[in-house]
């Protein structure tokens, strides 16, 4: 075990270096021994920081993962401009699936999805991640509206949500494999539905839970 | 704590009664104190059986939940025959969402989804549940093919999967509320895509992981 007292979080470069060392150690441990085998003690030892530093700041491996996920989530997928709604959605979905097929990325994502079922901090992190992704990708729908490809009242958030739903449901619910063909099919289905006016912002049906 | 030695599992009616008592106690505990607060000891005490009985058979609350889920999963959603693909899919999705909005059902489902991320037994239980549901609901697509509503090579499993994907993704990934309007939209989108031939069984693109 690491000795206590060394490497405490302090303002400035040292805190950032400590955080980076812990992030690297966390990733390595998760890939080496899985979520069930990863402990704060092992992460601290691997990062060369005091375990009390890690316990004081994060408390558990789950909270550490959620915090690292939130830090990394700022990097959004670049949005392609292919000239068609279907093309743009296909590129978005292909990039997203490629990320989910990266072992390092998938490991972290798995844990956040798992923790989000019961942990409010993880739930908030995951919801914030998707709110930012939807915000970032909504330009795809605005461009399609500007081209006259889809009706002006198309619900951009729902378009982006529906493109991702099939492969997230495969991964986490039905347990089916995912591949680029899931991106292509989802893009074709959602683009068709949007063009046919099925994805308009609901005028009267509101969700039973009011939006936050 | 319950005393050891009483209520051990034995063949016949007593085993069934013990299992039923444990299932009832598990549900009650989960609703009372949540997954984090539920312990084998508390379940055993509430069910009036020896905690060793529960430990020996299931080992953990997670495994107990998975086993109870598998026992209950045999009961399939009744399949409506409305005369149209969209109507049948809408009824299927509405029934599924209504079940997910039942607190008792949702509690168990949440835990299985959570455990399935890392536990192979939970993963297998969830995958088997959806394989059975798809098998049960595929008649919806066969009827639509027989009516000439969709092409003969429509992928029935993918149709059923895609109808559920939007509300499962809302619940477990993006953290959005669900309601009957999600059922109606999913049914409309998937029925349109199937009619337009977008959901044909893939002829050449195979998944990177071979089907089991």
pLDDT digit string, tens, across residues A81-98: 999 999 999 999 999 999
Q: How many percent of chain B have pLDDT more than 70?
A: 88
pLDDT, averaged across chain A: 87
Q: Which of A135, A173, A212 best tests the B interface by mutation, with the highest count of B CBs <10 A?
A: A173
Q: How many percent of chain B have pLDDT more than 90?
A: 61
**Distance (Å) of CA A51 to CA A4, A11, A60:** 7, 19, 11
* Nearest CA distance, B113 vs chain A (angstrom): 7
From the centroid of its chain, how far is CA B40? Answer: 23
Question: Could you report the per-residue pLDDT of B43-64, keeping only the tens digit for each?
Answer: 999 999 999 999 999 888 888 9
Mean pLDDT value of segment B181-188:
97
Q: Please judge whether B188 and A198 are an interchain contact, meaning their C-beta atoms are less than 8 angstroms apart.
A: yes
Token pair recorded at residue A16: 């950032």
Q: If pLDDT is split at 50, 70 and 90, which confidence band does B203 have?
A: low
Residues of B in contact with A114 (CB under 8 A): 114, 117-118
**Domains of chain A, with CATH numbers?**
2-59 (1.10.10.60), 85-201 (1.10.357.10)
Q: If pLDDT is split at 50, 70 and 90, which confidence band does B178 have?
A: very high
pTM for the model stands at: 0.84
* pLDDT over 80 (residue A24): yes
DSSP-derived secondary structure for B2-14: PPTTTT---TTHH
- Do B110 and B128 contact (CB within 8 A), yes or no? no
Task: Please name the residue of chain B whose CA is at the shortest distance from the CA of residue A190.
Answer: B189
The SS3 assignment for B200 reads: strand
Q: How many percent of chain A have pLDDT more than 90?
A: 61
Predicted ipTM of the assembly: 0.84
Mean pLDDT value of segment A116-121:
90
Q: Please judge whether A168 and B165 are an interchain contact, meaning their C-beta atoms are less than 8 angstroms apart.
A: yes
Report phi then psi at B91, rounded to 5. -65, -40
pLDDT, averaged across chain B: 87
Question: Could you report the per-residue pLDDT of B14-37, keeping only the tens digit for each?
Answer: 788 888 899 999 989 988 888 888
* pLDDT over 80 (residue B209): no
What local confidence, expressed as pLDDT, does residue A143 receive? 98
């Amino acid at each position: 075990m690491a000795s206590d007292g060394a490497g405490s979080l302090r303002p400035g470069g040292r805190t950032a270096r400590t955080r980076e060392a812990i992030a690297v150690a966390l990733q390595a441990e998760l890939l080496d021994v899985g979520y069930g085998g990863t402990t704060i003690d092992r992460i601290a030892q691997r990062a060369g920081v005091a375990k009390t530093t890690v316990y004081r700041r994060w408390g558990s491996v789950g909270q550490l993962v959620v915090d690292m996920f939130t830090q990394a989530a700022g990097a959004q997928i670049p949005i392609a401009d292919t000239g068609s709604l279907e093309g743009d959605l296909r590129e978005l979905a292909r990039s997203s699936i490629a990320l989910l097929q990266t072992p390092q990325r998938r490991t972290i994502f798995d844990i956040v999805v798992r923790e989000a079922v019961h942990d409010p901090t993880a739930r908030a992190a995951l919801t914030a991640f998707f709110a930012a992704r939807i915000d970032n990708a909504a330009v795809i729908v605005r461009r399609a509206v500007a081209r006259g490809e889809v009706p002006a009242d198309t619900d951009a958030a729902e378009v982006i949500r529906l493109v991702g739903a099939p492969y997230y449901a495969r991964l986490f619910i039905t347990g089916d494999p995912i591949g680029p063909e899931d991106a292509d099919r989802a893009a074709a289905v959602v683009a068709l539905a949007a063009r046919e006016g099925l994805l308009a912002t609901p005028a009267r049906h509101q969700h039973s839970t009011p939006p936050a």
